[in-house]
Structure formats: structure tokens, C-alpha cells
Amino acid sequence: MIEQEQTIEMISVEDLISRVHSFHDEGFRLVQICCSREGEGFELTYSFDKDLVLTHLRIPADQNSTVPSISRIYLASFVYENEIADLYGIPFAGIAVDYKGTFIRTSVPHPFGTPQIEVVKRRPDETGGKA
């Protein structure tokens, strides 16, 4: 099997809806939306497939800026958007089916949005001779 080249296109939040509309019009299907920490903020990656070739759109995101929902274009995205809102605290505007923070129950609000554990690193001279 020949591996196809994947592309990742960095775009602004303002360009998201128009780019997603173009993918929809060209016959792409939504594969997934994921969120990952990037520095002090986050990155949302939207993955699309056409003819077994993946293409990704990536936007910066944070808990203080609203991301437009793509659920009016790809209805199934409401699952990803509600999950990301609940776990990371990133707000979405206009979700077709909006659970308003009750999609995933957690003991801590937005558990992936704020580090829960402080990592303390030892200096090399404090290891007591152990690596």
C-alpha cells in the first residue's frame, strides 16, 4: 500500500467556516476534530478525508476566544465540539446540538484545560547520585 502525503494547513479562526465550506462542497468528509495544548494556549485540528487522503486544518484556540461551530456544515461535529468545550474549556458559538457543559461529567471542570498536577523537576545535584 502506498502511503499518501498528508497536509496540515494553519489557518486563522476567522477563515475556519469558509475553508470548511469549501471542503464540504468538494466532497470531503469530516474525520475528527482534536485539541492539544500548544504553549499557553491550544490548537484545534480538523481532519478531512477525500479518496483516502487526509487533509488537516489547524487553528489556534484559547479559553477566552470563541470558536465558530462547524456543526451547521458537518452535523456530527457537535460531538467533538461539546467534548472539547467540556474537557478543555474552549467555547464554541452556534453548536447545532449544544449540551452547555453537560456532555461529559468530570469531577474537575475542564480537566485538560488547566494542568491539575504541578511537575517539580530536580536539579542534577539533588538526585543523590541517582539518575
Secondary structure class of 50 (helix, strand, coil): strand
Q: What percent of the chain has pLDDT over 70?
A: 87
Q: Name the residue ranges covered by the structural domains of the chain.
A: 7-126
Contact between residue 77 and residue 103 where contact means Cβ atoms under 8 Å apart: no
Q: Higher-confidence residue: 46 or 111?
A: 46
| pLDDT the model gives residue 128 | 57
| pLDDT the model gives residue 20 | 98
Q: What is the mean pLDDT of residues 62-77?
A: 97
Bridge partners of residue 35, in order along the sequence = 44
Q: Is it the case that residue 29 has pLDDT exceeding 70?
A: yes
Q: What is the mean pLDDT of residues 85-107?
A: 95
Question: Residue 10: which residues within 8 A CB-CB, separation 6 or more?
Answer: 58, 59
- Predicted model pTM: 0.84
- In the CATH hierarchy, which fold is given to the domain comprising 7-126? Beta Polymerase; domain 2 (3.30.460)
